Chains A and B, each alone.
Chain A
Amino acid sequence: MRNLELKIFHNNKILVLATLILSIFFVVAILSYSGIIASNWYQQVGGSYDSPNIKNIFGTDIFGRSVLAKLIKGTETAISIGFVVSSIAIIIGLSLGLISGYFGGIIDEFIVWLYTTIASIPNIILLIAFTFILEKGIMSVYIALAMTRWVEICRLIRAEVIKQKSKDYIQASIAIGASHFRRIFYHILPNVIHIAIIQFSLVFQVSIKSEVILSYLGLGEQNQPSWGLMINDAKVEIIRGVWWQLVFATIAMFLIVLSFNIVSDALRDFLDPKLRNK
């Protein structure tokens, strides 16, 4: 297993680069969260709309605040959204998927009805509705995204559990008198967990994109820098030739989303037994 892992990295320089980029983003987010860097992002460090220069390499915004510091703080917002939303979505999706697929019957019907209903509503409308109900801010973005992102995970897990349930090793565990709990968590879960891991990385990057869209629309984070807000500000700045907020926030978003896609693909290749055997 370890050799296989290393082999994947050796044969795939792009994956190494993507992993490195993601690691940098994670480190930056952790340092920002712990207040080691960009804690004074709100302080004036230059004139209004200074273009990138030696002192402020990413330039300044309307209030003379460093765009680099805002970008770092925006990374913290993005990573925290990705992490919290993916975690909640995985917990909900995995639990409901396991219960639904394993027990079947009326429980399965109810859970299928629930996720079908949520899936039938366009995602962005649902997100906007959630943020209106819960008041705007980072907390409502967490909840709104988590409430919409568990559906796909649940659907995939449920299907896999139904498949695993009929396999011989489960029949054998029933024969030796294993409890439901043991069958689900000791036997089935290890065989479906790869789906959850792949989905975690996919939900992570989709959540970051959704947060940027929500903040851009004025429905997300309002009190702390966010890449979406920086892109939104650029709507009135571009006309004055102020391009730096837009460009740097877009590059940051592009890099993180691309890196996550590459890593997700590699994870799927690595963890999915069907693809691994090919």
Chain B
Amino acid sequence: MKNFKILLGTLIISTLLILYVKKNRTSNNIKKEKVLRNVVSSKVKTFDPTRSNDIYCARQIAKIYDTLLEYDYLERPFKLKPSLLEEMPEISEDQLTYTFKLKKGILFHRDECFENDKQRELQAKDVIYTLKRMADVKTMSNSYGYIQNRIKGLDEWRRKYKDGNADYDEKIEGLQELDKYSFRIKLKSPFSEILNIFVLPGYSIISKIAYQKYKEDLAKHPVGTGPFYIKEFNPQSNEIIYYKNPDFRDEYFPTHGAAEYQEMIDKYGGKKMPFVDKIITKIIVEESPKWLKFNNNEIDYMNITCHSNLKNILDETSTDLKEEYKAKGLDLLVAIGQSTNFFCFNNIHPLFKDNINLRRAMNLAFDRETYKNLFFTKIDKNAQSIIPPGLSGYDYNYKNEFCEYNLKKAKEYIIKSGYYNKKIPVITLETGTSIKDRQKAEFLKKCMREIGIEIKIQTNTWPAIANKINKKEYMMTKMGWYADYNSGKPFLDTFYGHNEAQGLNYTYFNNEEYNQIFEKTAFMRNMKDKDRAFQKLNRIIGDSLPVLFLFHTAHYIIKKSKVKNYLYVTFIYGNEKYVDVVS
């Protein structure tokens, strides 16, 4: 009995000791691991870059995949630099031929689709495959719109296989593989924007081998070359965990940049990236739980889109935090809007098609000042047309007379629209499921009631709205467009009537004059001429009112001061690799 007690005592003591040692080891490991915790405000539909079509997916994809080029993180004005490329592409005299050279030894993430490391190496054939897949009708990529009618032979190849079963081995004149690491793109006409396009996450390079193994499952099983990878992606999950890619190429924090970032350069310049071991991205649609998690230290930084929260934390200038929040060790980043918000009309719907007076009336009846006071801040700018300030094509002198609140004039235009003494059909507005989306929709409903228009609010998830847009089965919806790259052109692309890419021309606007000028801009070499043409196009959109213009909104990001090097620019993706978390 005595022996049994001794044995039992020894057992208990040794178990406790083992548990203690194990716990200590685990906690030491956690301490060593640098974890960045952020949030995305929408369900992530896909990790397939070629098929992604929203900003939420784009920001997630950019952590896993790489593009050929990227914007220099710290240089201002913005400057392109090679990412997967060895150097900037060689451009022929006539600006029709671009020769690209990939960096050697870039490896795709470790994955069972590769038999050996040799197969994992990024090659020119992967780039050619990515571009062909984008053009393949079956892929239904809306990124294709940016290169439509640009690359020799690509559109013909697309049309040839419009019924599916495209032959990816067929040679295309404009896409030539020169050797294992080099390839050439031949254009139909000069198109300087092409380099800007190669920074878009939709143009991330996928592995031909990975796609051939996973096919459509690539959406859930991404295999990229980027700084992070994921083990699995469950579209129903509310969290995505990214791990540092152990094979990420030698990439170092910039050693030069704008003076305002000198402190970052001094501290981090030349250090190998990425700095964090893990990123935990929570998927939270509603603002309140996001805010609670931020206060509970479960999120390190987040974009604040809720007017209630903004009004709580901003000082009178709307550009800085109130003292009490600064005292908590929080920082605020304000990125002046390179985006435009609007309610869009389906311009091929019988109610809006060829009825500019109705669209004018609706623009005039919208009380933007009250809307701004309720949902936005002082520094947001009223939109006069589609291109936001600071980008080529923005016209500081252009004032849209229909973007002024004027009920009397709005009622006159209702009469002109042919609906005098005639009931206007009920307009269904497709909007998001969040409270702010519904409240904004209710505001539109309230304004339109003043001119006798009844709005029916229909809430949907974003994928459901995108689906209705693609099928042209909507009347009105609320949208925002971010600058995809440092130019006004991405905004203009979306109104080009001959755009074949699914969902890119979401308003189905089709104006012959616009289309002709837009097509001509591709041949323009002189930047001034191009800017003037962009201004003209911007004016056509402003005058035609294919949308109900709202604001060029600022972006507010609140972050814990332990998060270092985080910058927010609408067209810089994948900035997590520059970010460090200090204890």
Q: Are the C-beta atoms of A236 and B287 separated by less than 8 Å?
A: yes
Instruction: From the candidates A135, A137, A222, A238, name the one contacting B438 in the complex (CB within 8 A).
Output: A222
Q: Are the C-beta atoms of A239 and B459 separated by less than 8 Å?
A: no
List residues of chain B with CB within 8 A of the CB of A232. 435
What 0/1 pattern do residues 243 to 266 of B give for CB contact below 8 A with A? 000000000000000000000000
Q: Are the C-beta atoms of A235 and B457 separated by less than 8 Å?
A: no
**Which residue of the partner chain B has the closest CB to A241?**
B312
Q: Are the C-beta atoms of A235 and B435 separated by less than 8 Å?
A: yes
Instruction: From the candidates B308, B438, B456, name the one contacting A239 in the complex (CB within 8 A).
Output: B308
A136 at the interface (CB under 8 A from B): yes
B374 at the interface (CB under 8 A from A): yes
Q: In the complex, which residues 37-78 of chain A have their Cβ closer than 8 Å to any Cβ of chain B?
A: 42, 48, 62-63
A117 at the interface (CB under 8 A from B): no
List residues of chain A with CB within 8 A of the CB of B435. 232-233, 235-236
Q: Are the C-beta atoms of A63 and B446 separated by less than 8 Å?
A: yes
Interface of B is mostly: helix
Q: Are the C-beta atoms of A218 and B459 separated by less than 8 Å?
A: yes
B139 at the interface (CB under 8 A from A): no
Instruction: From the candidates A42, A63, A218, A236, name the one contacting B308 in the complex (CB within 8 A).
Output: A236
User: When chains A and B are docked, how far (Å) is the Cα of A132 from the Cα of B364?
Assistant: 35
User: When chains A and B are docked, how far (Å) is the Cα of A242 from the Cα of B443?
Assistant: 19
Q: Are the C-beta atoms of A236 and B436 separated by less than 8 Å?
A: yes
Give A221 Cβ to nearest chain B Cβ, in Å: 10
A108 at the interface (CB under 8 A from B): no
Q: Are the C-beta atoms of B446 and A222 separated by less than 8 Å?
A: no
B439 at the interface (CB under 8 A from A): yes
Instruction: From the candidates B288, B446, B456, name the one contacting A236 in the complex (CB within 8 A).
Output: B288
B511 at the interface (CB under 8 A from A): no
Q: Are the C-beta atoms of B458 and A236 separated by less than 8 Å?
A: no
What 0/1 pattern do residues 162 to 178 of A give for CB contact below 8 A with B? 00000000000000000
Instruction: From the candidates A135, A235, A237, A238, name the one contacting B286 in the complex (CB within 8 A).
Output: A235
What 0/1 pattern do residues 307 to 325 of B give for CB contact below 8 A with A? 0110110000000000000
List residues of chain A with CB within 8 A of the CB of B445. 223
Q: Are the C-beta atoms of B438 and A240 separated by less than 8 Å?
A: no
**Which residue of the partner chain A has the closest CB to B461?**
A218
Give A121 Cβ to nearest chain B Cβ, in Å: 19
List residues of chain A with CB within 8 A of the CB of B129. none
List residues of chain A with CB within 8 A of the CB of B459. 136, 218, 222
List residues of chain A with CB within 8 A of the CB of B311. 240
List residues of chain B with CB within 8 A of the CB of A229. 438
What 0/1 pattern do residues 208 to 233 of A give for CB contact below 8 A with B? 00000000001000110000010011
List residues of chain A with CB within 8 A of the CB of B56. none
List residues of chain B with CB within 8 A of the CB of A238. 288
Please judge, given known A-B contacts A233-B439, A236-B288, A239-B288, whether A218 and B433 are in contact too, CB under 8 Å: yes
Give B23 Cβ to nearest chain A Cβ, in Å: 37
**Which residue of the partner chain B has the closest CB to A239?**
B308
Q: Are the C-beta atoms of A63 and B442 separated by less than 8 Å?
A: yes
User: When chains A and B are docked, how far (Å) is the Cα of A168 from the Cα of B526?
Assistant: 102
User: When chains A and B are docked, how far (Å) is the Cα of A229 from the Cα of B433?
Assistant: 12
Q: In the complex, which residues 66-88 of chain B have their Cβ closer than 8 Å to any Cβ of chain A?
A: none
Give A219 Cβ to nearest chain B Cβ, in Å: 8
User: When chains A and B are docked, how far (Å) is the Cα of A67 from the Cα of B543?
Assistant: 40
Q: Are the C-beta atoms of A236 and B306 separated by less than 8 Å?
A: yes
**Which residue of the partner chain A has the closest CB to B436?**
A236
Q: In the complex, which residues 95-128 of chain A have their Cβ closer than 8 Å to any Cβ of chain B?
A: none
User: When chains A and B are docked, how far (Å) is the Cα of A236 from the Cα of B434?
Assistant: 10
Instruction: From the candidates A62, A135, A239, name the one contacting B458 in the complex (CB within 8 A).
Output: A135
Residue pairs across A and B with Cβ atoms less than 8 A apart, 27 shown, are: A42-B446, A42-B449, A48-B373, A62-B374, A62-B439, A63-B443, A63-B446, A136-B458, A218-B433, A218-B438, A218-B459, A222-B458, A222-B459, A223-B445, A223-B456, A229-B438, A233-B435, A233-B439, A235-B288, A236-B308, A236-B309, A236-B436, A237-B308, A239-B288, A240-B308, A240-B311, A240-B312
Sort A-B residue pairs by CB-CB distance and give the 6 closest, nearest first.
Answer: A218-B433, A222-B457, A236-B308, A235-B288, A240-B308, A218-B459
B-contacting residues of A (Cβ < 8 Å)?
42, 48, 62-63, 135-137, 218, 222-223, 229, 232-233, 235-240
| Known contacts A137-B458, A229-B438; 8 further A-B pairs (Cβ under 8 A) | A62-B374, A62-B439, A218-B433, A218-B438, A235-B286, A236-B435, A236-B436, A239-B288
